[in-house]
């Protein structure tokens, strides 16, 4: 007699770059829409460059932190080279990419 046990569910792999509810492009688009509804300036004051960053976030190329840092650097005109390098992957996987890591 052979006993067939049910196979355990495969754990879902979560990309730590995004939150657990922003793993797919559709989920990231929904997160972006929620952010824009909460903070309308993200949409109404968005430049072409900001819209391109948002599209890269939805596509999974950038984390929201990378979008925010690149957008803020472009707005202030200072530190743009370092922050845009970070947004293009220069600091990916290097540990803390939070606000304190970008300010020296």
Assess if residue 18 is contained within a domain: no
Assess if residue 83 is contained within a domain: yes
Assess if residue 9 is contained within a domain: no
Neighbours of 2 (CB within 10 A): 3
- The model carries a pTM of 0.63
**What is the structure's pLDDT at 60?**
96
Helix axes 48-59, 25-38, angle to 10 degrees: 140
Assess if residue 100 is contained within a domain: no
- Two tokens, residue 77: 């005109």
- Two tokens, residue 76: 């202030």
Range of the domain at 32: 25-87
Assess if residue 8 is contained within a domain: no
In this prediction, residues 38-46 reach a mean pLDDT of: 94
Q: How many domains does the chain have?
A: 1
Per-residue pLDDT band at 76 (split at 50, 70, 90)? confident
């Amino acid at each position: 007699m052979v006993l067939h046990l049910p196979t355990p569910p495969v754990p879902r792999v979560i990309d730590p770059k995004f939150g657990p509810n922003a793993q797919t492009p559709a989920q990231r688009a929904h997160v972006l829409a929620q952010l824009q509804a909460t903070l309308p300036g993200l949409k109404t004051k968005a430049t072409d460059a900001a819209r391109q960053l948002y599209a890269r976030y939805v596509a999974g190329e950038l984390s929201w932190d990378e979008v925010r840092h690149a957008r803020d650097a472009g707005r202030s005109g200072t530190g743009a080279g370092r922050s845009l390098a970070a947004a293009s992957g220069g600091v990916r996987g290097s540990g803390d990419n939070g606000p304190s890591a970008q300010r020296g």
